[in-house]
Amino acid sequence: MTDHLPLELIAQPALTPQTLVDAGGESWARLGGIVARRITELAPGDILEIATAEPGVRVALRTWCSETGHVLLRVVEDGDRSSCWIRKTGDASVHG
C-alpha cells in the first residue's frame, strides 16, 4: 500500500515572504509605523517578514494582527532573534 498526500497539500505553493523588515533591536514604538506602512504596500495574501532581536516585538505583533485583522502565520525563535511572518488580509475595511 502506498501512502499519498492529500491533493490540497500537494497543490499548495510554498510560502515565501514578499518583503522583509529587519528591525534589529528596535522597539515596537518605533517599528509599528514601519510595519503598518510596509503591509499597505503588499497585495492581499502576501507575506511580510519581520526579523527582530527585541522580544517585546513578538508580543506586540500578535496584538497588532488581532487588531488589524492580518494573520500572524508564524514566529520562529533562533537564539536572541525572531522571524515573524504576517499575511496581509484582503479585507478592505482593515487598515495597516
Q: What is the pLDDT of residues 57-84, one digit of tens each?
A: 999 999 999 999 999 999 999 999 999 9
At 4 the pLDDT is 55
Provide, rounded to the nearest whole percent, the portion of the chain with pLDDT above 90.
Answer: 75
Q: Cβ distance 48 to 86 under 8 Å?
A: yes
The whole-number average pLDDT for the span 16-43 is 96
Quote the cell numbers at residue 67.
Answer: 487588531
Q: Cβ distance 73 to 47 under 8 Å?
A: yes
Question: Which domains are assigned to the chain?
Answer: 22-87 (3.30.110.40)
